[in-house]
Amino acid sequence: MSAGAINAIQLNEKVEQGVFLLDVRNPEDFADWKIEGKEVRSINIPYFDFLDDNENIYGQLPADEEIVVICAKGGSAKMVADLLDEKGFQASYLEQGMQEWSQFYRPVTVMEDDNLKLIQVNRLAKGCLSYMVISGGEALVVDPNRHIEEYLSLAEQEDAAIKYVLDTHLHADHISGGHELAEKTGAVYYISSSEMQGSELSYEPLEKQGMLEVGRAEAKILAVPTPGHTPGSVSVLVNDRYLLSGDTIFVGGLGRPDLGGKAAEWAQALYDTVFTTIASLPDDVLVLPAHYAEASEIRREGYVGAPLGEIRGNNEVMRTANRDRFAEKVAHAVGATPPNYEEIVEINRGAASASPEKATELEIGPNRCALHHG
C-alpha cells in the first residue's frame, strides 16, 4: 500500500478547513519556516526518527484523522506517509514539499464595486502580498512575484488588460516578476529610479508619475513617496481609501531600514514617512502591505490588512514622536536578514540572473522584511 499525494492547492483547502501536519524536516528548518494557519496543528518529528521504527513516535500522532506529511521536496514525506499507511494511519503527503508550497498563490478580493475591484494575491509560504487593481477592463499590478503566469491567468479571468506594472521598491526577499510581466503584456513598468541605479532594465521612473489612471476616473492611483525601508520606497493610494503600502507599513510593524547598510540614516527617513506623509492620511484608510509575518494577520475576510487607525493604536513605535527615540527603536529592531537578500537584490536590479531552479533555491525560507513593534 502507499499513501496518496496531494498538491499545494489541495493542501491550502485543508489548511483553511483544519488539518494535522507532520513535518519530517530537521528541527532547525521547521523552527525557521513552516506551514501555518489558524486551523493548523503541526508536529515536527524528523524523518530519521522513523527509520529507527520507534513505536513511541506513533503515539504522538492522531489515529482518527488525516495526517499530511511535509518535507523539503516530497521524497522523505512520501516514505514516512507510506510507513504511516502500513500502520493503519490515514496519511497523505505534499508531493513536492515545501518547495511546491513556496510557489503557491491565493487571490482574495479585498473590495469590489461598479467602478473598482481590488484583489490581493497571497503567496502564503513567503508571506508575500501583491495586488491587482481593476477598473474599466484595465489592470494595474503592484509588487508581482516572479511566477507571472499567476497574474496573466488572473487578468484573463477578470477580462482585464494589464496596463501598468509597479514595484513599490527593490525587493530583497523574493525575485520580482515586475519587469518580465510588463514585457510580456506590453504594460508600462514603474519603479523609483533611486532603486535602479546602474540597472540596464527598461522602466519608467515612478517619482515622475504622481498619478496613474486605471479604467474609470474613480480608479486613480496616487504614488505616495514613503522612504524608510529603501530610499525609493513608495506606497500607492487607491481612490484615497486603500493604501498599498509596500514594505513601509505592515499590519504589525514597519519596514526594516537596515538592508542597505544605512540603518540609522534610513530610520530617519522612515520617521519623516510616518510623521509627515502617512500622518496626513485618515484612520479609515485600509493599509494593504506587501508582506506579513504571521497567519494571525489574515482577516476573517481572507485578506491581510487593517485600518490605519488600528495600526497606529497597536503599533507603539508609530506613536513615538521623538525623532531620536523613534530612530533608535527602529534601527535596533531589525533581526535576521532575509536569506540570500544581496543576490536577490542584484537579480531584481537586472545586474544578475537566475534559472528557475536557482530562483526557487534563493527564495526558500520565510520573509524577514517586517519589523514588529507591539
Residue 143 burial by Cβ neighbours in a 10 Å radius (0-12, 13-18, 19+): buried
Of the residues 3, 6, 35, 71, only one is catalytic, namely 71
Amino acid in position 201: L
Q: Of 217, 244, 219, 248, which is closest to residue 317 (Cα–Cα)?
A: 248
At CA 271, angle to CA 273 and CA 140, rounded to 5? 25
Question: What is the Cα 284 distance to its own chain's centre?
Answer: 23
Q: Of 174, 202, 162, which is closest to residue 369 (Cα–Cα)?
A: 174
**Which residue, chain included where needed, has cell 490515514?**
90
What span, in angstroms and rounded, lies between the C-alpha atoms of 58 and 333? 41
Told to judge if 71 belongs to the known catalytic residues of this protein, a careful annotator would answer yes
SS (H, E, C) the chain: CCCEEECHHHHHHHHHHCEEEEECCCHHHHHHCCCCCCCEEEEECCHHHHHCCCHHHHCCCCCCCCEEEECCCCHHHHHHHHHHHHCCCCEEEECCHHHHHCCCCEEEEEEECCCCEEEEEEECCCCEEEEEEEECCEEEEECCECCCHHHHHHHHHCCCEEEEEECCCCCCCCCECHHHHHHHHCCEEEECHHHCCCCCCCCEEHHHCCEEECCCCCCEEEEEECCCCCCCCEEEEECCCEEEEECCECCCCEECCCCCCCHHHHHHHHHHHHHHHHHHCCCCCEEEECECCCHHHECCCCCECEEHHHHHHHCHHHHCCCHHHHHHHHHCCCCCCCCCHHHHHHHHHCCCCCCHHHHHHHHCCCCCCECCCC
- So which residues are the catalytic ones? 71
